[in-house]
């Protein structure tokens, strides 16, 4: 199993509870619909220290690194990233871990 962990710092105009909730819901919906995705967990900051650094955490689970590579180029994933997420994101970090 591969877990892809992604952290987002949103642009200032999206750094509020309502915008984070909307982003989280849209992320759950769009990413869970993708074929190679086994599950998606989306989080928002639980404390002030976390909120100072990041606005959204995402853990996407896959069966293999090949699935991760196909996910990255999937047209539906690209539509989510390029059309929805990137216009709202200031900083993005992503890592893959085998579990």
Question: C-alpha angle 58/63/65, rounded to 5°?
Answer: 80
Return the residue matching tokens 């976390």: 50
Ordered per-residue pLDDT tens for the chain, 99 residues: 999 999 999 999 998 999 999 999 999 999 999 999 999 999 999 999 988 899 999 999 999 999 999 999 999 999 999 999 999 999 999 999 999
Cβ neighbourhood burial of 35 (10 Å; 0-12, 13-18, 19+)? exposed
So where are the chain's domains? 2-98
Cβ neighbourhood burial of 56 (10 Å; 0-12, 13-18, 19+)? buried
Residues 40, 34: contact at Cβ < 8 Å? Answer: no
The reported pLDDT for the residue numbered 51 is 85
> Which architecture characterizes domain 2-98 according to CATH?
2-Layer Sandwich (3.30)
Quick one: which of 37, 21, 77, 95 has its CA closest to 10? 21
Residues 36, 62: contact at Cβ < 8 Å? Answer: yes
């Amino acid at each position: 199993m591969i877990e892809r962990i992604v952290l987002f710092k949103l642009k200032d105009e999206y750094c509020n509870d309502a915008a984070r909730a909307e982003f989280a819901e849209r992320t759950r919906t769009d990413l869970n619909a993708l074929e190679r995705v086994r599950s998606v967990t989306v989080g928002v900051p639980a404390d002030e220290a976390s909120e100072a650094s990041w606005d959204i955490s995402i853990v996407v689970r896959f069966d293999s690194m090949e699935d991760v590579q196909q996910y990255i180029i999937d047209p539906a994933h690209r539509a989510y990233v390029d059309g929805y997420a990137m216009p709202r994101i200031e900083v993005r970090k992503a890592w893959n871990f085998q579990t």
